[in-house]
């Protein structure tokens, strides 16, 4: 169905409310995103035109250049300009990724579950990259058209999960049971089909017809080798989306049946041996993971979902799931997936980019500047706080660093991140109630960092916490609070440990600077 042939919606239905009632029933795209969409839809636009718009959105600029330099595009020399990046990536891929990143970024404004959206976008990215790889076997010339049509094919799901997650959940449950009446259920819930909703959104965003021509169509997997180019395109988009849903949706007996049937049909439809098909699918998942950072999706969402108590895939299906999981394992373990302050923890020991072989007593200006620039690029508070702990320990001369964070569910302050010898084992010492008289709770509500000469001089604390002092010691230390954006969320502590070396004014200056950079970026990340 063409975007321009949508029937008039019946008043009072969910479809009508979403598409006809102003002003914010559908997701609204930011100005930079709209400009990118408009320019990439204009046949007279150049890569330079799009690059100029991207230059004004620093987050978009960084992500576009990072993708262009990823292994996906096999560039010989580093890509450093947005124009060069746009030329390599192509208009269609950029358009799809920009829309996806906007949906994730504004999920909370609509009350949507960011986790649900990320799972859906992971499916869409896998479908897009799988379509490109499958299209190569059929010699379909335009990879950009394949990528965008496959990614936007489930646009209705994305918008429904964004605006009405409770309705989307009902549809997902119906699909999990593989109900033949799914089309009827869509009409009962929405007043129109889900594909009609997707077509309305595409029209609302003024996406060109050639990129949304499959949004309103019910597709099937045909005999691709003997079909027309259009039929080949439709079969590839269908197979890619069906495969991503079978591998990444909630496990169910219905899903297992669809998965088995799909794997039986695909080799013949595409003229491939199973081993070749497996390589294509693994490559598609790997590429999707490389795109994931731009749309802020943790790589964990790309790992196939399997529950042996619910479903039993065929031996072929299980083998494919395992092969994908094995291929993604290095990428998954490289990504910090815990972003809530309640679940923050120290990363496994590794050589940090800012580390030096023999830490100086105080950092150089270059080290502080490098940390400041790196912190501005971080999008995950977990990464930011771990970076701060490492830079204080490796380049600022502190032997022990501890970050404690507020746990709202239990109204406690708890040690979460530690840097230094034996510090990790002592993190449980750093736990107290927010109502307790404790040097941590006092520091939590003080805006300025300070130096504590010895906890033994704090009579009220030392009498009640003799075990803490016995294990941690009574060396002088610096302490400061973490804020996001104006509420205290934790405390950071740094000292010279058992070496008893003096803490100088220069040490205090470096501690204060690092703390200031962290707090300013915590405010940025909270917006």
| pLDDT tens profile 432-444 | 888 887 888 888 8
The pLDDT of residue 281 is: 94
Question: Side-chain half-sphere of 16: how many Cα atoms within 13 Å?
Answer: 7
The pLDDT of residue 289 is: 83
Which band of pLDDT confidence, cut at 50, 70 and 90, is reported for residue 8?
very low
The pLDDT of residue 241 is: 92
Query: Does 374 have pLDDT greater than 50?
Result: yes
Report the candidate in 209, 269, 210, 217 with the shortest Cα–Cα distance to residue 243: 269
Report the candidate in 182, 199, 192, 317 with the shortest Cα–Cα distance to residue 251: 317
The pLDDT of residue 3 is: 38
pTM of this prediction exceeds 0.85: no
Beta bridge partners of 431: 414
Max Cα–Cα distance, the chain, nearest Å:
86
Beta bridge partners of 488: 483
H or E, element range at 489: strand 488-495
**When comparing pLDDT for 354 and 498, which is higher?**
498
Q: What is the pLDDT of residues 450-466, one digit of tens each?
A: 888 887 766 555 555 66
The pLDDT of residue 478 is: 92
What is the token pair recorded at 460?
Answer: 């009220």
- On whether the CB atoms of residues 147 and 185 are closer than 8 A, the answer is no
Cα separation, 78 vs 262, in Å, equals 40
The pLDDT of residue 351 is: 36
What is the token pair recorded at 216?
Answer: 């309103």
* CA 407 to centroid of chain Cα atoms: 23
What is the token pair recorded at 412?
Answer: 């406690």
Mean pLDDT over 193-201 rounds to: 79
Q: What is the pLDDT of residues 278-322, one digit of tens each?
A: 999 999 998 888 777 666 677 888 888 877 777 677 888 889 998
Tell me the pairing of strands 400-407 and 431-433. Answer: unpaired
Query: Does 479 have pLDDT greater than 90?
Result: yes
**When comparing pLDDT for 304 and 61, which is higher?**
304
Query: Does 207 have pLDDT greater than 50?
Result: yes
**When comparing pLDDT for 168 and 28, which is higher?**
168
Q: What is the pLDDT of residues 213-254, one digit of tens each?
A: 787 677 888 777 667 888 888 889 999 999 999 999 888 888
H or E, element range at 451: strand 450-452
Report the candidate in 229, 186, 183 with the shortest Cα–Cα distance to residue 210: 229
The pLDDT of residue 22 is: 40
- On whether the CB atoms of residues 215 and 273 are closer than 8 A, the answer is no
The pLDDT of residue 461 is: 59
Mean pLDDT over 356-378 rounds to: 66
- Cβ contacts of residue 135 below 8 Å, gap of 6+? 143, 146, 232, 233, 236
Mean pLDDT over 420-440 rounds to: 85
> DSSP label at 74?
-
The pLDDT of residue 41 is: 64
Q: What is the pLDDT of residues 147-176, one digit of tens each?
A: 888 888 888 888 788 777 788 888 888 877
**When comparing pLDDT for 267 and 141, which is higher?**
267
> DSSP label at 8?
P
The pLDDT of residue 111 is: 56
Cα separation, 88 vs 291, in Å, equals 14
Q: Is the dihedral of CA 188, 190, 195, 196 positive or negative?
A: positive
Does domain 341-526 fall under CATH 3.40.630.10? My reply is no
> DSSP label at 262?
H
Beta bridge partners of 492: 403, 480
Neighbouring CB atoms inside 10 A of 54's CB total 25
Query: Does 508 have pLDDT greater than 60?
Result: yes
SS (H, E, C) 142-163: CHHHHHHHHHHCCHHHHHHHHH
Tell me the pairing of strands 431-433 and 412-419. Answer: antiparallel
* Domain boundaries, given as residue ranges, for the chain: 29-105, 219-335, 341-526
Query: Does 25 have pLDDT greater than 60?
Result: no
Cα separation, 210 vs 230, in Å, equals 11
Q: What is the phi/psi pair of residue 390, to 5°?
A: -70, -40
Mean of per-residue pLDDT scores for the chain: 77
Q: pLDDT above 70 covers what percent of the chain?
A: 75
**When comparing pLDDT for 424 and 355, which is higher?**
424
Question: Best-predicted range by mean pLDDT among 66-80, 99-113, 341-355?
Answer: 66-80
Q: What is the pLDDT of residues 84-95, one digit of tens each?
A: 888 888 776 777
Cα separation, 92 vs 128, in Å, equals 11
């Amino acid at each position: 169905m063409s975007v321009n042939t949508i029937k008039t919606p019946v008043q009072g239905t969910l479809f009508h409310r979403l598409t006809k009632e102003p002003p914010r029933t559908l997701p609204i795209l930011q100005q930079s995103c709209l400009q990118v969409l408009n320019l990439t839809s204009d046949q007279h636009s150049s890569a330079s035109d799009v690059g100029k718009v991207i230059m004004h959105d620093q987050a978009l600029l960084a992500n576009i250049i990072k993708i262009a330099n990823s292994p996906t595009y096999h560039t010989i020399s580093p890509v450093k300009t947005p124009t060069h990046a746009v030329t390599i990536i192509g208009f269609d891929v950029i358009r799809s990724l920009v829309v996806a990143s906007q949906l994730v970024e504004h999920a909370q404004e609509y009350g949507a579950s960011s986790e649900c959206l990320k799972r859906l976008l992971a499916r869409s990215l896998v479908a897009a990259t799988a379509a490109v790889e499958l299209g190569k076997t059929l010699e379909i010339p335009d990879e950009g058209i394949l990528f965008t049509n496959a990614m936007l094919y489930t646009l209705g799901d994305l918008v429904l999960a964004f605006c009405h997650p409770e309705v989307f959940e009902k549809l997902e449950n119906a699909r999990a049971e593989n109900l033949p009446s799914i089309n009827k259920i869509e009409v009962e819930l929405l007043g129109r089909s889900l594909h009609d909703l997707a077509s309305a959104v595409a029209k609302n965003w003024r996406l060109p017809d050639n990129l949304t021509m499959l949004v309103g169509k019910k597709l099937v997997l045909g005999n691709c080798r003997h079909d027309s180019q259009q039929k080949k395109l439709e079969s590839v988009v269908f197979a890619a989306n069906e495969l991503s849903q079978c591998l990444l949706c909630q496990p169910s007996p219905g899903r297992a049946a669809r998965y088995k049937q799909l794997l039986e049909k695909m080799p013949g439809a595409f003229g491939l041996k199973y081993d070749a098909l497996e390589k294509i699918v693994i490559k598609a998942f790997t590429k999707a993971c490389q795109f994931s950072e731009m749309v802020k999706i943790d790589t964990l969402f790309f790992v196939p979902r399997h529950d042996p108590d619910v479903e039993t895939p065929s031996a072929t299906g299980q083998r494919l799931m395992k092969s994908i999981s094995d291929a993604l394992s290095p990428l998954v373990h490289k990504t910090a997936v815990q972003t809530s302050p309640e679940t923050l923890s120290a990363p496994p020991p590794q050589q940090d980019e800012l580390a030096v072989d023999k830490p100086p007593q105080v950092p150089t200006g270059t080290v502080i500047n490098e940390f400041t620039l790196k912190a501005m690029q971080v999008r995950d508070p977990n990464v930011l706080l771990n970076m701060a702990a490492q830079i204080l320990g490796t380049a600022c001369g502190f032997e022990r660093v501890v970050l404690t964070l507020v746990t709202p569910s239990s109204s406690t302050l708890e040690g979460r991140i530690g840097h230094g010898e034996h510090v990790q084992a002592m993190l449980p010492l750093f736990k107290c109630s927010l109502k307790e008289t404790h040097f941590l709770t006092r520091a939590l509500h003080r805006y300025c960092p300070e130096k504590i000469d010895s906890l033994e001089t704090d009579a009220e604390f030392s009498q009640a916490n003799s075990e803490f002092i016995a294990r941690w010691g009574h060396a002088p230390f610096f302490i400061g609070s973490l804020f996001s954006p104006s509420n205290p969320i934790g405390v950071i502590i740094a000292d010279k440990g058992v070496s008893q070396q003096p803490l100088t004014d220069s040490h205090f200056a470096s501690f204060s600077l690092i703390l200031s950079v962290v707090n300013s970026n915590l405010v940025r990340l909270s917006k």
